[in-house]
Amino acid sequence: MTEIAALYENEEVVTQTKAEERKLLIFKYLPGPTDSPISTSEIQHLCEKESGCLESSLRTFERDLKKLHEHREVECIVFQHKKHWRLSSKRAALKRTMTVLEALNFVILKRFAEPLLPMGNSDYMQAIFEQSEEVLKQHGKSSLAAWPTKIHVEKKGMPLEAHELDEQESEPIYKALLEEKLLEIEYSRGMERCDTNLVTTVQPLGLVFRNHTVYLVARYFNDLEKVRLFSVNRIKEAKCLEQGFKYPSKKVFELKDYVEAGHTGFTYGEKVEEIEIIFRDYAKDLIVQYPYHPEMTLESLPDGVRTKAKLIFNYDLESFILGLGEHAEVIKPEWVRKRLAERLKQAACLYEC
């Protein structure tokens, strides 16, 4: 290699090093995606203040920022005829390094809890999720990287296929719930009445993720007395309106209490009443370890246990009792006892008649 060629190669290496140094300093001093942007000259001043030997023209910084903007790593906001800059959501998420343990936590969060997150920071969170998966791939031999393959959450009951939430379709629902604004929905009434969709305005109060179905808990805008349940996969169209509403106090409504009262299952009536059940044999041990209600009481009997709980009798509890066969007996209320007796008689007839 000639001396001239070697000289040019060294200059090219130095130039690349300076460009990388500028890039790192730009990322260091640019404001975050939710902060006020700063001008090109301000960025140049901050970078050169830290690195006295880094002498680059304003035009060079503009060129660097333009290239970063093309790769969606920075945002450009024009203010008073000048370009101002800040980090994009994507770059902000990748600004710091991520440990393998942190990456594992985010991978698990994405797998099991992503639908529970509000969608306001979806771009930011998506960048973090992508980075976490990449970190685990890079550390494939780590015991932590193998952890996601060693855990599995099994769905309760028959594993029916869950309805995948479309992010674009469900975004207005998340937005209205997060910002406490009215939500206009077009709701399918079901296959039997598929030609008469309901178009209405509601106050969104919560989302309930129940086995394979996601439910929107809401009140009609013109009827605040009763809380309703809407299956999200049957909401054909949703629009978040500008008008807000006052979310009810805990004395009026609390999502946890609403769910525990049995409203999210297919209910038989709307009355909360005391359900008394006797469990025998293996069902006795099952119900002692896994109560069917947080305020369920237990009383020991010679041949089992007597349980009592106040709730709305629903399809889930009915199916659970029927599934235990002769090991579970409803004592009260009488109408539930008669209902189960009739169902068991009809089922037996299928096999005996």
Q: Domain ranges in the chain?
A: 3-93, 100-150, 169-260, 273-352
CA distances from 114 to 73, 110, 119 (A): 24, 5, 9
Does pTM top 0.85 for this prediction? no
* Virtual torsion, Cα 30, 35, 40, 44, nearest 10 deg: -40
DSSP 314: B
3-93 carries CATH number 3.10.580.10: no
In degrees and rounded to multiples of 5, residue 300 shows phi and psi of -70, 140
169-260 carries CATH number 2.30.30: yes
> CA 290, 291, 295 angle in degrees (round to 5)?
150
Instruction: Give the pLDDT score at 262.
Output: 73
Task: Tell me the β-bridge partners of 181.
Answer: 244
C-alpha span between 197 and 184 (Å, rounded): 13
40-50 vs 3-29: helix crossing angle, rounded to 10: 110
Structure tokens at 58: 């304003």
C-alpha span between 350 and 353 (Å, rounded): 6
Give every residue of the chain whose pLDDT is below 50, as ranges: 1-16
3-93 and 169-260 in the same fold? no
Instruction: Give the pLDDT score at 321.
Output: 94
**Range list of β-strands (E), the chain:** 38-39, 74-79, 82-87, 181-187, 198-210, 213-220, 223-231, 235-244, 273-280, 297-301, 304-311, 328-332
Find tokens 């096999």 and name the residue: 351
Residues present in the chain in total: 353
DSSP for 193-205, written as a single string: GTTS-EEEEEEEE
